Amino acid sequence: MADEKDTQTDAKDTQSNGKGRVAGVIEKVKEQIRPKLNQDLEGLRQPQKTQLYKSIFRVKHEETPRSRSLSVLSNVFLHLHPARINRDAVRYSYTWGMGGITFYLFVVLTFTGVLLMFYYHPTKIQAFRDILYLEHDVPYGKLLRNMHRWGAHLMVLTVWLHMFRVFLTGSYKKPREFNWCVGVILLVLTLLLSFTGYLLPDDQLGFWAVTVGTNMARATPLLGSEGPLGPQLGMTAYNDVRFALLGGSIVDSNALLRAYIWHCIGIPVIASTFMIVHFWRVRKDGGISGPSPVMLAKEIKPERP
Ligand code: HEM
């Protein structure tokens, strides 16, 4: 009998101990998240003081001679080249030069693309014939076309490698969060440039690639005729996002014209604008991130007495 009572008391003790421990843990977690919660609340009250705001918009500094000279030195238009750079940050082994190579390829693609435009008509009758003409009759036409095609493949590769290096070096962290997001947009634009260019030769490869690619758009949530909630919102094959992309319900002359305009005007103009913002932000974020500067022994100045 006594044993039974002891067991019951033990069980009660364990239960209350368990409850106490849970309460203790909850209290500890609360203590840990309280500063973050307070910070978030403060952010809601004064959004201009948050890191998110500071990473997107320019912040006003106090009026001192130092901040005035800094605002001149860090101004991209007044000082196209940065006044100071971190020597280790511009090493090829750090950046792989991938951002620069991506930009260089974009310039080459713009130049060769404009030259190709002199020979290409975006119509079902002419498009493929123009490609054959370029390949076999136009002087240096084959070279021109292949520079554009291989340059495009390379640009897709280098933009991925650039993103990979930025990720590996942790350069997406404070204060570069905003530039990382601009970069993501640039990546999407690069892929869209590649995709729209695919249809232009109007060959079997491009035709089927774009057929498959745009068929996927049917499954877009809300905007696709076969996507989640699409049919409920009245989406059909004749008014959904795929229809808007193709200018019809099949890949035909309207799709070719749309791909041409997006490829030659729309996306390059948008991408150039984002590239300007991207480069400007690299300067504003204090230059390329880089490891902390290493000094040669001879560069270290002796301490003043
Ligand atoms: C058309 C595409 C792009 C071009 C032309 C471009 C160009 C550049 C260049 C020239 C730099 C200077 C440093 C370097 O060369 O590595 C740079 C830095 C940077 N890029 Fe890009 N970029 C592109 C796409 C992207 C993408 C896809 C991301 C990431 C999603 C990205 C994120 C960044 C960031 C965070 C920096 C600063 C890195 C640091 O300070 O170390 N960029 N970009």
* 5-29 burial: b if 16+ Cβ within 10 Å, else e: eeeeeeeeeeeeeeeeeeeeeeeee
Q: Which of 282, 283, 285, 289 to mutate to test the pocket of ligand 1 (most atoms within 8 A of CB)?
A: 282
In CATH, what is the architecture of 98-284?
A: Up-down Bundle (1.20)
For residue 186, the model assigns a pLDDT of 98
Task: Decide whether any atom of ligand 1 lies within 6 Å of the 284 Cβ.
Answer: no
For residue 262, the model assigns a pLDDT of 98
Output the tens digit of pLDDT for each of the chain's 305 residues: 455 556 565 656 666 677 778 888 888 888 888 888 888 888 888 887 787 787 787 777 778 888 888 888 878 888 888 888 887 888 899 999 999 999 999 999 999 999 999 999 999 999 999 999 999 999 999 999 999 999 999 999 999 999 999 999 999 998 899 999 999 999 999 999 999 999 999 999 999 999 999 999 999 999 999 999 999 999 999 999 999 999 999 999 999 999 999 999 999 999 999 999 999 999 888 889 887 666 677 777 776 66
For residue 157, the model assigns a pLDDT of 98
Task: Decide whether any atom of ligand 1 lies within 6 Å of the 171 Cβ.
Answer: yes
Closest C-alpha to ligand 1, atom 5: 103
Q: Report the interhelical angle of 177-199 vs 253-261 (nearest 10°).
A: 140
Please state the atom number of ligand 1 nearest to the C-alpha of residue 160: 27
Distance 183 CA to ligand 1 centre (A): 6
Distance 102 CA to ligand 1 centre (A): 9
Please state the atom number of ligand 1 nearest to the C-alpha of residue 95: 16
Please say whether the dihedral angle defined by the alpha carbons of residues 45, 50, 53 and 57, taken in this order, is positive or negative. positive
Number of H helices, E strands in the chain: 12, 0
Nearest partner of 200 among 118, 114, 126, 111, judged by Cα: 126
Please state the atom number of ligand 1 nearest to the C-alpha of residue 271: 1
For residue 20, the model assigns a pLDDT of 79
Task: Decide whether any atom of ligand 1 lies within 6 Å of the 102 Cβ.
Answer: yes
Q: Is residue 275 within 8 Å of residue 106, measured between CB atoms?
A: yes
Q: How far apart are CA 166 and CA 36, in angstroms?
A: 27
Please state the atom number of ligand 1 nearest to the C-alpha of residue 179: 35
Please state the atom number of ligand 1 nearest to the C-alpha of residue 169: 41
Distance 166 CA to ligand 1 centre (A): 7
Task: Decide whether any atom of ligand 1 lies within 6 Å of the 86 Cβ.
Answer: no
For residue 3, the model assigns a pLDDT of 56
Please state the atom number of ligand 1 nearest to the C-alpha of residue 167: 29
- Residue 50, number of CB atoms within 10 A of its CB: 15
Q: Which of 165, 278, 281, 289 to mutate to test the pocket of ligand 1 (most atoms within 8 A of CB)?
A: 278
